[in-house]
């Protein structure tokens, strides 16, 4: 059974802090790893990682994938209150035409002013 585990489950920081969120996985037929940010409603796409060791960046957010050790990290530098959200990690698998997404439990990030 495919498994995706995120840690920590929740995190409370103050504005300006740097945080690292972890995502480890055990799956068959890995295709890609995705990070989403979920504020009250719809998860919004952050990154898709397919190759090991290549960092993806978007402003203060960055992510990297290690396919040998089967994990990914999401870094947020200089956190702001607007970064407060649930961060979801999902792994896409599938050797055929369908790429199934298996989600982790999510990390609840709270940023205090």
Partner 1 sequence: DGGITQSPKYLFRKEGQNVTLSCEQNLNHDAMYWYRQDPGQGLRLIYYSQIVNDFQKGDIAEGYSVSREKKESFPLTVTSAQKNPTAFYLCASSKFPGQGLYNEQFFGPGTRLTVL
Binding of partner 1 at residue 95 (CB under 8 A)? no
Give 3-state DSSP helix, strand, coil % of the chain, rounded to 5: 5, 60, 35
Q: Are 101 and 2 in contact (CB under 8 A)?
A: no
User: If binding means CB under 8 A, how many residues of this protein chain bind partner 1?
Assistant: 28
Binding characters for partner 1, 6-45, by CB under 8 A (x = yes): x--x---------------------xx-x-x----xxxxx
Under the binding rule (CB under 8 A), the answer on residue 110 touching partner 1 is no
Cβ nearer to partner 1, comparing 81 with 105: 105
Of 14, 18, 99, 112, which one interacts with partner 1 (CB under 8 A)? 99
By beta-carbon proximity to partner 1, the closer residue of 11 and 94 is: 94
- Dist. CA 93–CA 70, nearest whole Å: 13
β-pair type (30-38, 43-49): antiparallel
φ and ψ of 81, to 5 deg: -60, -30
Tokens of 82: 């607007």
Q: How far apart are CA 2 and CA 103, in angstroms?
A: 10
Residues that bind partner 1 (CB under 8 A): 4, 6, 9, 31-32, 34, 36, 41-45, 48, 50, 88, 90, 92, 94, 96-101, 103-106
């Amino acid at each position: 059974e495919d498994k995706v585990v995120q840690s920590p489950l929740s995190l409370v920081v103050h504005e300006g802090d740097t945080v690292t969120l972890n995502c480890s996985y055990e799956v068959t037929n890995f295709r890609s790893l995705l990070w989403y940010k979920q504020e009250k409603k719809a998860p919004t796409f952050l990154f898709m990682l397919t190759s090991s060791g290549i960092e993806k960046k978007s402003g203060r957010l960055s992510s990297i994938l290690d396919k040998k050790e089967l994990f990914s990290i999401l870094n947020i530098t200089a956190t702001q209150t607007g970064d407060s959200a649930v961060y979801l990690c999902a792994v896409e698998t599938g050797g055929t035409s369908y790429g199934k997404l298996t989600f982790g439990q999510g990390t609840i990030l709270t940023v205090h002013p």
